[in-house]
Structure 1
Amino acid sequence: MMKIQQKLRSVKTALSERREVRKRLRGPAQLRYAIADSIGMLDAQAWKGLTAQAGFFLSYDYLRSLESVLPANLDPRYALVYEDEQPVAALYMQLADIRLAQASKTSFGSLGESLGQRVLTCGNLLTFGQHGIAIAPGVDPELAWHGVAEVLYRVRQAEKLAGSANFVMIKDLHGPQVEDAAFLKNLSYRFVETEPNMVLALGEDWKSYDDYLASLASKYRANVRNGILKPIEAAQCRVEHFSDMAAMQDEIHALYKAVQVNAGFRPFELLPEYFPALQEAAGERFRCSVLKREGKMLGFLVTIADGETAIAFHIGFDRAAAADLPIYLRLLHAGIADAIGLGCKRVSFGRTALEPKAALGARPETYGVLIRHRQPFMNKVIKHLLLNIDHDEAPDRSPFKKAEGKAA
């Protein structure tokens, strides 16, 4: 009986503590906020100071360039969080109007075009990775994340005139970020693990693509040569760098769309003007490898150096030509060559197509999103449905020679 009473007291104490945490989180943080529709409306120096170590995709210049070429259904929001007079966090958000037709390959006719959701995303839907939050060093993580939740609440409340943003998503949390943001579950945020990001670590002694090939075990090297490189060469195709996106933006966009329309989930469609704007913003960090045959472009891959990581993310190719040639695989290998040329230490290939990326030597990194719906009932639905969604697991491949294992 004594043990039962002790357990009951323990449960009662835990519930009481959780209620206190929830009550504290639902109240305003002891912070101040500057929230804007354009990054130009905020203190540029404060933003640059907070995001100096946060990477290219949170940089002031990139986000300012992005504003004018965002997809038609995306609308940006920005916020600076202050403690007293000191900026402690910067947030980049996107409001997305997503129709049912964009979330499935199934045709729903006019119903698919009329039904949809307005989603508030903390992060950048155009790329993968956590590119939505920068927190100043030394700031209490709980205070900072409380501020993040408060900003998202305020932005969602402000959107009621334009249409309610029912879903809120904090995208692509990884590693310590997951632990730091975990207490947001007290505000009904639910963590959902997504497909992993596939990352290839580049060997320190790789100075060229040939060095990468030489590091592969003979079986895998033969597969690359006979299954990818030789068929491409036999078809008189060649890979080259493309430096003028403005001149060929329509052709690049057509190849991008050929791949994009076949995706199961299409939350946006990039504009043709986006590609040259990205190149201009990235400068020397930008690479675009194109596959050509007799002057005709059959595919492209855009890679950007973000610190020591090369982000290989925008890809497009001629689907008819790809039925006979390993264009997609050849472009992935071009991404490795570009990453080495950019002096990076790893290549981030993103989600999807886990098998071919694993065959390159890429390893999975666990990522997830925090999701919240404004209606309590829907949060319960999210908890029981979304958290149980199955996603593909990356296959275990070891393509490198045993002596090269550490490089993989």
Structure 2
Amino acid sequence: MKDIFSFRIYSSTNDLPLEWDNLTSKNIFLTKEYLSILEKAAPTNMVCHFIGIFKGEELVGTSLSQYINLSKVNSLGDRDQCFKTLIKNFLFKKLISNVLIIGNNMLTGQNCYCFSSAISEKEGLIQLNNAVKELTIQFKKQNIKIHLTVFKDFLVTDCNTFKIPEFKRYYHFNTQPNMIFNIKESWHSIDDYISNLNKKYRDQYKRARKKSESIEKRKLSLTEISEYHSEINELYLNVAKNAPFNTFYLCEKHFEVFKQKLHDNFLFYGYFFDGKLIGFNTLIKNGEDIDTYFLGYDDKHQRDKMLYLNMLYDMISFSIKKKFKRIIFARTALEIKSSVGAIPIEMNGLICHENYFLNLLMAKSFTYFEPKTEWKQRNPFNNI
């Protein structure tokens, strides 16, 4: 007898099956605790749903969907207001403003789904495709027409699973790689890391640390995050609005809710100069990995104090000391991350436009909106 699989879509974490976390325990970003953060403090232009996949009445798969309304943000950033950018923004709003993502657009990596051994990955993807159809219908009833559907982020080898009829219309794409920092077993402190650097990058480390001698770094509690929330938001926006591409902006209470829900699994570090908050970074503990999250800084101090580079070194120092195996540095700032030892891992996704003819042009239009990033990979280590 053929197994009968089905899916259910939830809009509240309160409705999730009791056994949900039994399936997601290896990835914090699919647990109820994390999903409740999205439920309470997602960006204002984002609506999240949670997908359960069942074999009969047994929960065998979990996933996350995010609807993003790009018309509510200046997706291409504030730094370039030339005619070409204005045209791109116009096309965004008319043709691809309503995006349905299966996965997490706020993170980098395979945080899309989790399946148990009771369901094959192929069958799980078929059910997720069915869920996409149902979500599209639900949004249509709200007068929202989904333009684009995206599945993200997967390793190249993982994408082979999508080679089934249900995903024939999807265009396979890759954007900036995920920068991964692997921690050697022989490293027990930051000194071990430094000893493996070649002279050029040991000098870079020493220069950066000297620049930051006047900065006080402090781990902030929930009370302090709340106290500094205005300054934090200003520093975050200073970085976010200068990015070449944005699909959302965090709400002001986002980090407070994060700390409330994840407690010690969410770390918030503030950087102070003369008693003033000039920067911050955030980390999330995820099993043997440390995921870097959002950060912010004042431009002047970033240049004078080499603040961003010092943040990277602080993340490395913490992760070595606490015996994590990898740091997920995610996308952006690829070259400087490679200069501290992170390596690029190609990530792929699938994208499909609801309009048949526009979908045929997906390959060309995707590279127009997401041009290839030119950068030079560094190797700071002594032949390792």
When the two structures are superposed, what TM-score results if normalisation uses the length of structure 1? 0.84
- Report the equivalent of 2:258: 278
Residue 370 in 1 paired to residue 350 in 2? Answer: yes
Deviations 1:72-112 (A, max 9, x none): 11011111111222222111111110027323544449969
Q: What secondary structure, in the 3-state scheme, does the structure 1 residue paired with 2:226 have?
A: coil
Distance (Å, rounded) in 2 between the aligned partners of 1:36 and 1:265:
30
1:59 aligns with 2:31: yes
* Equivalence for 2:51: 79
Q: Say whether residues 1:241 and 2:219 are aligned partners.
A: yes
Cα shift at 1:307: 1.1
Cα RMSD after superposing both structures? 2.4
> Aligned ranges for residues 387-398 of structure 1 at < 5 Å?
390-392=371-373, 395-398=376-379
Partners of 1:341 and 1:271 in 2: how far apart? 32
CA contact (8 A) 2:77 2:241 kept: no
Closer, same or farther: CA 395–174 of 1 in aligned 2, 3 Å: same
How far apart, in 1, do the equivalents of 2:313 and 2:334 lie? 15
- 1:215 lines up with 2:183 in the alignment: no
- Distance in 2 (alpha carbons) for counterparts of 1:344 and 1:283: 18
Judged with a 3 Å threshold, the aligned counterparts in structure 2 of structure 1 residues 93 and 101 are, in CA distance, closer, same or farther, namely same
Match of 2:326 in 1: 346
1:307-334 alpha-carbon deviations (Å, 9 max, x no partner)? 1111112110011322433111111111
User: 1:153 — aligned with what?
Assistant: 133
Deviates more, 1:366-375 or 1:322-331: 322-331
In the alignment, which residue of structure 2 is the partner of 1:253?
Answer: 233
% identity of equivalent residues: 25
TM-score, length-normalised on structure 2? 0.89
Give the deviation of 1:48 after TM superposition: 1.5
The equivalent residue for 1:190 is 171
1:129: how far off?
1.5
SS of 2:41's equivalent in the other structure is: coil
For residues 104 and 252 of structure 1, the distance between their equivalents in structure 2, rounded to whole angstroms, comes to 19
Equivalent residue, structure 2, for 1:34: 8
Mapped partners of 2:113, 2:129: distance in 1 = 11
Amino acid at match of 1:171: K
Aligned residues: 370
Specify the code of the residue in structure 1 equivalent to 2:57: E
CA distance in 2, matches of 1:156, 1:375: 13
Equivalent positions of 1:262-341 (< 5 A) are: 262-341=242-321
Spell out, residue by residue over 1:149-198, the C-alpha distance to the aligned partner (whole angstroms, 9 max, x if none).
Answer: 11111111211022111110111112542122232674301110111011
Distance in 1 of aligned mates of 2:70 and 2:307 = 30
Q: Structure 2 vs 1, CA of residues 341 and 285 (structure 1 numbering), >3 Å: closer, same or farther?
A: farther
Counterpart amino acid of residue 80 in structure 1: G
Q: Which amino acid aligns with 1:241?
A: K
- Structure 1 gap ranges (5+): 1-28
Q: Report the residue type matching 2:382 in the other structure.
A: K
The 1:144–1:171 alpha-carbon spacing in structure 2 relative to 1, beyond 3 Å, is: same
Task: Give secondary structure in 2 for the equivalent of 1:272.
Answer: coil
Determine helix, strand or coil for the equivalent of 1:298: strand
Paired with 1:209 and 1:357, the residues of 2 have a C-alpha distance of 16
Quote how far apart the aligned CAs of 1:239 are: 2.4
Q: Corresponding residue for 1:379?
A: 359
Judged with a 3 Å threshold, the aligned counterparts in structure 2 of structure 1 residues 391 and 161 are, in CA distance, closer, same or farther, namely: same
Question: 2:38 touches 2:48 (CA, 8 Å); kept in 1?
Answer: no
- Among 83, 89, 93, the alignment partner of 2:61 is 89
Higher mean displacement: 181-190 or 285-294: 181-190
SS in 1 for 2:59: strand
Tell whether the 8 Å contact from 1:73 to 1:268 is kept in structure 2 after alignment. Answer: yes
Matched, 1:232 2:212: yes
